Amino acid sequence: MSKRDYYEVLGVARNASEDELKKAYRRLAMKHHPDRNPDEAGAEAAFKEAKEAYETLSDANKRRAYDAHGHAAFDHGTGGGGQGYADINDVFGDIFGNIFGGGGGARAPRRGADIGYVIELDLEDAVGGIDRRIEVPTMVGCGPCKGSGSEDGKLETCATCQGRGQVRFQRGIFSMQQPCPHCGGRGQKLSNPCKSCHGAGRVEEEKVLSVKIPAGVDNGDRIRLAGEGEAGPAGAAAGDLYVEIRVREHAIFQRDGDDLHCEVPIRFSQAALGDIIRVPTLGGEAEIRVPVETQTGKVFRLREKGVKSVRSRGVGDLYCRVVVETPVNLTGKQRELLEQFEQTFTGENASRHSPRSSTFIDGVKSFWERMTS
């Protein structure tokens, strides 16, 4: 049976480039490989045919001979493909090399790990900003060997990967690469490990840093300190340190974005008669004019007495909610006066002094009437 034209087998033109040949073979190898088509009778033959065509046309000398004489150029066993499955490392290497860290040279050691640190602040410090000194347990570059891991600075080429830093293995039709397990992807091994770090190039240490906390930070905000994380292995770049802010609960204020909220207790006499009261803010005291007949829950807004966060241009507001407080530990005189005051809430006009109470009582009466009708 005569052989098909190699260009026809691959489905390419006679002037096809090396890249076009490779793409065509890759497509056919994926389509006809016996591992992917165990039940298809002609798959193995089609795969071998494509492999033979590619092996011939991808070799410049063999291609010239084939173009000049066709299949006759290899009648005496000097060309064409051999038997068995193709070694397609160079065909698929450009795909999987990037995925699995491929490349001609040794892989540079990965950078050090990022680390996190939590700082707890009072609300005043979070709003106003502060400098804090922190101690972070981490990995730092070894001083005696300057992070190289070598006692004398000498390195040997890894015998396993021959200095490439990568080892290749076959899985089915795929050729894959991974960092060399013996040198960690460096391509070199230590002949005389450093006695201080035992060849690791880094040691555990508690690093002392000064962190500038900007004004207006809030719960969950993170500050990145570049290069202050763990030192990388074998002198590689260090990771980053991320400082997370936690703001402690405040005794008076609750923060909501740029605004602050607080509750202000007042006596019922102040609520009934009105008064001027002083309330705390983060910048000092401020005055609130409580109008006559103020009820619990009334909110007073103090503009620009809140917070200016790191993300906003303006300052938030302070919202003060008044709470009418019931007096306790009454003296005899106070009790007597309150009893006299209570006796004034009689007669037909009593309800006009307690509008919410009368409305509630009317609502209860209406409810029971509906339930019993």
Q: Which residue has the higher pLDDT, 352 or 362?
A: 352
The SS3 of residue 373 is coil
Summarize the confidence of residues 297-323 as an average pLDDT: 93
Q: Classify residue 216: in a domain, yes or no.
A: yes
β partners of residue 318: 260, 302
Helix, coil or strand: residue 356: helix
Residue 83 has pLDDT above 50, yes or no: no
pLDDT of residue 106: 46
CA distance 48 to 50: 5
Of 247, 270, 293, the domain-final residue: 247
Residue 104 forms part of a structural domain: no
Do 215 and 137 lie in one domain? The reply is yes
Residue 110 lies in a domain: no
- C-alpha distances in angstroms, 213 versus 93, 217, 270, 289? 49, 8, 42, 36
Tell me, yes or no, whether 72 and 175 share the same domain. no
Tell whether the torsion through CA atoms of 356, 359, 365 and 371 is positive or negative. Answer: negative
Roughly what angle, to the nearest 10 degrees, separates helices 43-57 and 60-69? 100
Asked if residue 38 belongs to a domain, the reply is yes
**Domain contains 95:** no
Residues 264, 294 within the same domain: yes
In a domain, 101, yes or no: no
φ, ψ (nearest 5 deg) of residue 273: -95, -15
Alpha-carbon torsion 141, 147, 150, 153, what sign? negative
**Beta strand extents in the chain (DSSP E only):** 115-121, 130-141, 155-157, 166-171, 174-179, 188-190, 202-213, 222-225, 241-247, 254-256, 259-267, 275-281, 284-290, 299-302, 318-325
Asked whether residue 57 is domain-assigned, the answer is yes
Predicted pLDDT at 96: 42
Query: pLDDT at position 3, please?
Result: 79
278 and 215 housed in the same domain: no
CATH of the domain at 175: 2.10.230.10
Residue 208 class from Cβ within 10 Å (0-12 exposed, 13-18 middle, 19+ buried)?
Answer: exposed
Cα(218)–Cα(307) distance, integer angstroms: 10
> What is the 3 state secondary structure string of 207-269?
EEEEEEECCCCCCCCEEEECCCCCCCHHHCCCCCEEEEEEECCCCCCEEECCEEEEEEEEEHH
The whole-angstrom separation of Cα 211 and Cα 57 is 64
Q: Would you give the end-to-end CA distance of the chain in angstroms?
A: 105
Q: What is the C-alpha to C-alpha distance for residues 4 and 6, in angstroms, rounded to an integer? A: 6
- Do 359 and 289 have their domain in common? no
Distance CA 86, CA 50 (A): 9
Same domain, 123 and 236: yes
| Domain endpoint, select from 86, 104, 136 | 86
CATH of the domain at 75: 1.10.287.110
- Please tell me the least confidently modeled range out of 4-13, 161-170, 321-330: 161-170
pLDDT tens digits, 185-195: 777 777 788 88
Q: Are residues 120 and 220 in the same domain?
A: yes
- Percentage of the chain beyond pLDDT 90 is 36
In a domain, 12, yes or no: yes
Domain that holds residue 270: 254-325
Whether 151 and 194 have beta carbons less than 8 Å apart is answered as yes
**308 vs 74, higher pLDDT:** 308
Contact yes or no for 232/109 (Cβ under 8 A): yes
CATH assignment at residue 284: 2.60.260.20
Number of domains in the chain: 4
Q: Check whether residue 121 and residue 210 sit in a common domain.
A: yes
Specify whether 365 is located in the same domain as 347: yes
231 token code pair: 């030192």
Question: Do 138 and 239 fall into the same domain?
Answer: yes
Q: Which of 276, 265, 269, 223 is nearest to 245 (CA)?
A: 223
Q: Does 228 share its domain with 266?
A: no
Interatomic CA distance for residues 159 and 188, integer angstroms: 9
**Token pair for 268:** 């019922």
Do 119 and 240 share a domain, yes or no? yes
| CB-CB neighbours of 68 under 10 Å | 9
CB contact set of 29 (below 8 Å; sequence gap of 6+): 47, 50, 51, 86, 88, 91, 173
The pLDDT of residue 362:
63
Q: How far apart are CA 281 and CA 362, in angstroms?
A: 41
The predicted-structure confidence for 131-186, as pLDDT tens digits, reads as follows 999 999 888 888 888 777 788 877 788 888 887 778 887 766 677 778 787 776 77
Phi, psi at 29, each rounded to 5° = -65, -40
Does the pLDDT of residue 49 top 60, yes or no? yes
> What contacts 194, CB < 8 A, 6 or more positions away?
142, 144, 145, 148, 149, 150, 151, 201
- Residue 125's pLDDT is what? 95
Write down which residue in 225, 247, 269 finishes a domain.
247
Lowest mean pLDDT among 33-37, 62-66, 202-206: 33-37
pTM of the predicted model over 0.75: no
